[in-house]
Chains A and B, each alone.
Chain A
Amino acid sequence: MEKKKMPPQFWEDQEWALDHYERWMREYPYHWIAVVNKEVIAAEKDPEKARKIAQGKTGKKHIPVVYIEGHIHVY
């Protein structure tokens, strides 16, 4: 079965989401955010729902979805 190679934009958007993590902690605590072209397209409690909403809005297939903590936890 073929593994999916992520396109360059996917990695850029994923990195951008992490670069602004503190902001998302304030705006979307304990949510999954879906990012396309350096913009948060969806924030949901369910990562698949966030991805599907973002896919529907942008038409993109590969979309990074990142979990945002509300506090800095020790696991």
Chain B
Amino acid sequence: MSTRISLFFKEFENPNLAEKGVVFPAIRLFGRVQFKTRDGWTDAYVAILDTGAPTWVLPFKIWSECEVELLADYTLRGIVPKEECSLPILVGKITCILADKERESDEFDVITYLAMTNDVPLLIGFQGLLERATLRMDYQSKEAFLEMDYQSKEAFLEIE
């Protein structure tokens, strides 16, 4: 049994490049996600689906409302390899669902990077989702979805 959850593309103008005469759309793929809290579920948040990110990233005020199993502290490093550009974070396991206007997935667990600031976007990375879901995206037809197969629900969540 699998569930198909719609994703969506959005195009943004890059005003900083446009000022320099370089105009092309910044295209992103988004999904919608809800997290299990200590007393229920959050509302749905829009999240960037980033297949280049090994792990999800959650802003502080979102994950601090959630039921979290803390696993470690860590340092998140991005495209700039300087120490001052790194971000101290926690690593933890949370439970979430993907949703669209008509459907929602079953609950699944992901190991996420938990930021200590709200100044980060919500990123859906590879871990916990893309190993077991089928991602289909066709920008030409503006169609994208994740097909989730729950038989492999726990297969990629081994914590030593």
| A residues in contact (CB < 8 Å) with B | 1-6, 8, 10-11, 14, 18, 21-22, 25-26, 30, 32, 45-49, 51, 62-67, 69, 71-75
CB distance from B31 to the nearest CB of A (A): 12
Tally inter-chain residue pairs, CB-CB below 8 A: 79
CB distance from A55 to the nearest CB of B (A): 11
Q: Is the CB of A18 within 8 A of B34?
A: no
Q: Pick from A64, A65, A67 the residue with the most CB of B within 10 Å.
A: A67
Q: Is the CB of A67 within 8 A of B44?
A: no
CB distance from B19 to the nearest CB of A (A): 12
In the complex the two chains form, what is the Cα distance from A51 to B65 in whole Å?
13
The 8 Å CB contact of A4, one of B10, B30, B34, B101, is B34
Q: Is the CB of A3 within 8 A of B16?
A: no
* 19 more A-B residue pairs beyond the given contacts A3-B41, A21-B12, A72-B16, with a C-beta to C-beta distance below 8 A: A3-B97, A4-B40, A5-B104, A6-B44, A8-B101, A18-B46, A21-B10, A22-B12, A45-B119, A47-B59, A47-B62, A48-B65, A65-B43, A67-B46, A67-B59, A72-B12, A75-B57, A75-B79, A75-B121
CB distance from B37 to the nearest CB of A (A): 9
In the complex the two chains form, what is the Cα distance from A11 to B100 in whole Å?
9
The 8 Å CB contact of A71, one of B16, B45, B104, is B16
In the complex formed, the residue of B with least CB distance to A11 is: B101
Q: Is the CB of B44 within 8 A of A64?
A: yes
Asked if B78 lies at the interface with its beta carbon under 8 angstroms from chain A, I say yes
In the complex the two chains form, what is the Cα distance from A49 to B15 in whole Å?
28
Q: Pick from B34, B52, B101 the residue with the most CB of A within 10 Å.
A: B101
